[in-house]
Every structure is written in structure tokens, then in C-alpha cells.
Amino acid sequence: MHAQQSVVLTDSLRQHMFTFGQLKTLIDTTGRLTFNQIRKSSIDSAFTLNRSSTPQNTKINDYYWYKLRINHQDTKQKLFVLEFFDQTIDQIDAYIPVSADRYTRILLGDELNFSSRPFKHKNFVIPLYDELQGEYDYYFRIKSSQLADVIVVLRSIDYFVGYALGEYFSFGVFYGMIFIFCFYNMVMFFAVRQRAYLYYVCYLLCVALFEMCTDGIAYQYLWPGLSNWNQFAFGVVLCLMSVSALLFTQRLLLLQRKAPRLHRFISSVIVLRLLFFAYCLFFDKNLFNYKFLEAIPLVVAFGSGIYIWLTGYRPARYFVIGYGFLFFGYLVKFLIMLGFTWLNFGVVSYYILSFCFIMEMTFLSLAIGDRVRVLKYSRDRAQQLTINQMKINQQLKDNINKELETKVKARTQELLEKSAIIARQNEALSAANQTLQEQRDEISRINALLNKDNEELKENVEQVTRARVLSTGVPFEEFSKLYPDQESCLKFLAELKWQKGYQCKKCASNTFYPGHLPYSRRCTSCGYEESPTAHTLLQNVRIPINKSFYLIYLIYSTKGKISSHKLSDILAIRQSTCWAYSKKIKQQIEEKKLGFSKSNDQGWSELLF
């Protein structure tokens, strides 16, 4: 009832997994027990039967001794091997019986180079001697810096070869699917130039590399001679996978526009994850073994998808389903790690994270496609609205043309009726023409005098208006009479800017000719063209220039005491724009404060330069 159960080895046996009472365990906390000491009856009695389906090294970095018993029967036709499933075990000292009293030692573990293994396989495989007859005890001393599953399987060599080929074929299909997803999304990135595809490709590559690290494929094919790097390579890949997943979440769910606070929170999580990675890499690489911390980025991404889905963004539904599969697989693995070994019931539970990755990739690809479909639908809808508006505009244009034609016909009829009256009046006018001819010269002389007076009056009015603008506050309507449009403003700015003569900013030449822009000047020597607004307070300002003039005038006339809200109400401009622009003007006032005390009639225009 309480003795260790032996496994009978016959030619009919294909495979057997050691579990429960078939394994005995002894924890060596000192790490000093030798193989010869272990075999002594006093210490051998300290071995305890395994009480779980899959034993684990619950005490990290302690040495664990395991003992299993095999009853060799007549196995002349088959060869057998022992296989350890977990590739993360650092050290395995295997003591394999050769004869009744002689054992051979085989060293395995991911701390050793891959080329030192008896079988060039991703798992740790140990050959058995077929000459043995009877019951023999097999001893294994195991040490690992992370939680490891001590899954020992006995397989016949023919079954092992078939199983290994099938397993590698499954890996080829799995990684092939990942690379197909990567190629498709990379093509989509070059087609639409959206960074969400690039982040998704990075995430998929990190998933593939993490699975290769977990399965031992990476150590076998990518870095077989770098045992030190193999100890923490998975931690580097996990960090890159979390960061790329969170960046992809921000882009796919449009968090910067739909949920700015959530977007900033995810950015903070990314920064903290990178800081934790840097600490692990440079100070304590053992912290890489705390893989459960990756639940934080997973929960953040999953929760973000649920929140955005609830707000009505339809592409998020595939995102939530995909991450739901990944969350389920991660939860099962986490529970197995905590000791719920009843969940570890076979191949499905062992590779459940890989299956969930495949489902996640599928649904995330659907989410990206749905996002593109939504964007295309929005674009087509906008185009349709534009076309409908153009039709309405054309219809309005046709109606206006018809009304104009009707009015032209009525006006033509009216003119025809009046032309008859005019013809009769022409005779009377002919008699008066002579008198008018005599008066024409007098009228011409009077008109010349009136034109001269009008010009003087106009100049006086302009001077009075300018003086009133420079001295007192006026409304924008009256201010616009002095500077009604952009051309008048540019003309005033050009005259004020080059009132002392033109000099090229590049070569200091004084000769120029008109440039392509209104009132700009192009140097005849070097061809440098300078606009009136260049090197002024109005350079790169996007609000209308006459409103810019009036805004400068208002700030100057109120000595900077007018608020941006008041400016926004007066000029019908956004308050943030008024605030930013008024800040520049007030800074200019502060810089030229001493000069303004001596200014006479230039006033606010001094702030332009």
C-alpha cells in the first residue's frame, strides 16, 4: 500500500509517465549529499512518496533527489529512453544503472551547452541499458532557479522518434502560422502605413520567440552554445512582448482619442515595465523568474479592450475575445504553478498557452481587419455625404440660374419700354446739349477742385483715424476700415519693415525685385525671398492678419490687462489661441518696455518687430 510502485518494462510498452506513488522525493537543503550517501539505508528511508501527479521544486535553488524503480523484463527487441519534459531545469544529475552494482552518471540541464546532450532533442532524453534484468532504482538530482515540473516519461525508442517527429511538425505548423500572420500584417503596414500593424508584428515575433524559449526550440536552433544567455532570454522576450502588446492596444483601440486617461495609464505601465526589466537585467536576473508579473500588462490590455467595447467601439469585441482566450490560458498555467495539479491532465493543459496564443492571434487579426473595415465605412460615408452635398449645391445653383434668367427677361422688357421713352427724351436732350457743353468746362474745373479737396479730406480722415486708433480704443469694425483686408495689412507691414531701406538677410545686398508672394522682396544677388511677415511677430501666425493687428492693438492699448476670454469674444477666435498669442505679445511688451516710453505715434506697431 505504501511501497514505491515499479514500472514493468516489456516490449509491448510504448510509453509511461511516472506519477504519484511511482516517484520518491528527498529534499537536500545543504546540497552536500552524494550519490553513495543517498543509497545508504538510513538516508534512503527518508525518501517520501510523491503525492501529486506532477512533482515540483517548490523550494527554489534547493537540490531535489528523485528515485524511480523500473522492472526490466525481456526487452531484447526494443530500446527505451527516459525523457524530462521541462526544458527550464538548470541541473540534472542522472544516475543510470549499468549492472547490479554499477551506475553511470549523465549530466544534463540548460546550464550546459546543447551539444553535450546524449540526444539532440529539445527535451532532456536519457538512454536506458537493454542488457539489464530485474528491478533497478534510478536516481536523479535536480536543481533549478525557477519553478520546474519534474515530468518523467518512459518511452520506447520507436515511439519516441514518432512522437518527436510529430511534435516538431506541430511546432512547425505553430510557428509557421505566426510567421504567416507576421508577413500578412507587415504587408498591411507597408500598404496603409498604420503603426498598429507594426506593433502587432513585433508582438507576434515576441510570442514566437517566447514559445521557442519555453519549448527549448530556441536553445536548440538559435543559441545552442550560449547557456548563460539561455538562463534569462525568456525574460527579455517577455518584456518586449508586454511592451509591444500595450503599444498595440493603444493604437488598435484608439485610446489617445477615445480614452486619454487610459492611454496615459498604459504609457505609465510601459515605463514601469521597462524600469523593472532594467533592474532585473543589471542587478538581479533571478527576478526574471517571476513570470506571474506579466499578468499586470495582460489585465491592463484586457480591461482596456472591455472598456472601449462598452463605449461602443465595435472592433474591440474581437480584441476582447482574443485576449479572453489568452487570459484563460494564463490563468490555467498560473493555477498549475500554485499547486492545482489536477488541471495538468495531459497535452492539452501542457500546451494550453500555445493554443490560446493561436486563438488570440486569429481574433486580433480579425480585430485589425474590423478596424480597417470601420475606417473604410467611415470614409465611404463621408464621401457619400460629400456627393449628396454637391448634388444639393448643384440643384441650388440651377434654381438660382433660373431665377436670374427670369429676372433678366423682366428687366429686358422693362428696358425696352423705357427705351421708347428715352428716345423721345433724346430730342429734348439734344436741345439742352448745347447748354450743357457750355457748362461742361465749368463742371470739369469744379470736379478737379473737388477731387483735390476729396484727396485732402481722405488723407485727413485717414490721419485722424490712425491717430484715434493709436490713442484710444476703437471697435474692430472701425479698426478694419484702416486695415480692411490682408493686402492692406501686408502693404502697411512692408512699408513699415523696409522704411529705412532693404537689406538682404543672407548676403546683405540692398538691391531687390518683387517676389512671388504679395509685397515680398527677392534679393537680386542670392535670390533669397523675404515676405513682409518674416522675422516679425506675425510669422507663422494662422489667424487672419487684420485680426492679429487688432489683437496686438487691444493688448497694447489696455497695457496687457485684457483677458484671453475677452479677446476670444471680440475676435471670434478660440480662447487657447488668444491666450498663446497674447502671451507672445505681452512678452514682447516686457522686452520693449523702455522703448515705449519714448514712442510718439508708432504705438502698437513697434511690437511687430
pLDDT digits (tens, 9 = 90+) for 353-381: 677 777 777 777 777 776 667 767 777 77
Specify burial of residue 468 (Cβ count, 10 A radius: 0-12, 13-18, 19+): middle
| Res. 602: pLDDT tops 70 | no
Question: What whole-number distance in Å separates Cα of residue 477 and Cα of residue 65?
Answer: 95
What integer pLDDT is reported at residue 606 of this predicted model? 74
The candidate with the shortest Cα–Cα distance to 547, out of 478, 609, 476, is 476
What integer pLDDT is reported at residue 288 of this predicted model? 82
Q: In sequence order, which ranges of 216-351 are alpha helices (DSSP H)?
A: 217-221, 227-252, 255-258, 260-282, 295-310, 316-338, 347-350
Task: Name which residue leads in pLDDT, 345 or 399.
Answer: 399
* 272 — pLDDT class (breaks 50, 70, 90): very high
Q: Residues 134-146: pLDDT tens digits?
A: 888 899 999 888 8
Above pLDDT 70, what percent of the chain? 89
Q: Which of these ranges, 330-339, 409-418, 488-497, 575-584, has the smallest mean pLDDT?
A: 330-339
Question: What whole-number distance in Å separates Cα of residue 203 and Cα of residue 338?
Answer: 27
Above pLDDT 90, what percent of the chain? 6
Question: What whole-number distance in Å separates Cα of residue 13 and Cα of residue 213?
Answer: 32
| Res. 102: pLDDT tops 80 | yes
**Residue 384: count of CB within 10 angstroms of its CB:** 10
CB 17 within 8 A of CB 153: yes
Task: Name which residue leads in pLDDT, 192 or 599.
Answer: 192
Domain boundaries, the chain: 7-161, 194-377
Stretch 302-322: mean pLDDT, rounded? 81
* 589 — pLDDT class (breaks 50, 70, 90): confident
Question: What whole-number distance in Å separates Cα of residue 198 and Cα of residue 138?
Answer: 51
Retrieve residue 60's grid coordinates. Answer: 527554489
Phi (first) and psi of residue 115, to 5 degrees: -70, -15
Task: Name which residue leads in pLDDT, 19 or 348.
Answer: 19
Question: What whole-number distance in Å separates Cα of residue 364 and Cα of residue 376?
Answer: 18
The candidate with the shortest Cα–Cα distance to 173, out of 354, 319, 324, is 354
Question: What whole-number distance in Å separates Cα of residue 412 and Cα of residue 415?
Answer: 5
The candidate with the shortest Cα–Cα distance to 468, out of 478, 454, 459, 477, is 478
Q: Residues 37-78: pLDDT tens digits?
A: 888 877 877 888 887 777 878 788 889 999 998 888 766 677
CB 211 within 8 A of CB 97: no
Distance, first Cα to last Cα, the chain: 100
Retrieve residue 421's grid coordinates. Answer: 421713352
Q: Does domain 7-161 have CATH number 1.10.10.10?
A: no
The candidate with the shortest Cα–Cα distance to 208, out of 234, 229, 187, is 234
**Residue 274: count of CB within 10 angstroms of its CB:** 14
CB 208 within 8 A of CB 175: yes
What integer pLDDT is reported at residue 419 of this predicted model? 83
Question: What whole-number distance in Å separates Cα of residue 136 and Cα of residue 104?
Answer: 13
* 286 — pLDDT class (breaks 50, 70, 90): confident
526 alpha-carbon distance from chain centroid: 45
At 124, is the secondary structure helix, strand, or coil? strand
Question: What whole-number distance in Å separates Cα of residue 79 and Cα of residue 71?
Answer: 14
**Residue 262: count of CB within 10 angstroms of its CB:** 19
Task: Name which residue leads in pLDDT, 304 or 593.
Answer: 304
What integer pLDDT is reported at residue 601 of this predicted model? 45
Question: What whole-number distance in Å separates Cα of residue 549 and Cα of residue 608?
Answer: 9
* 603 — pLDDT class (breaks 50, 70, 90): low
| Res. 402: pLDDT tops 50 | yes
* 499 — pLDDT class (breaks 50, 70, 90): confident
In whole numbers, what is the pLDDT of the chain averaged over residues? Answer: 81
What integer pLDDT is reported at residue 306 of this predicted model? 84
CB 156 within 8 A of CB 147: no
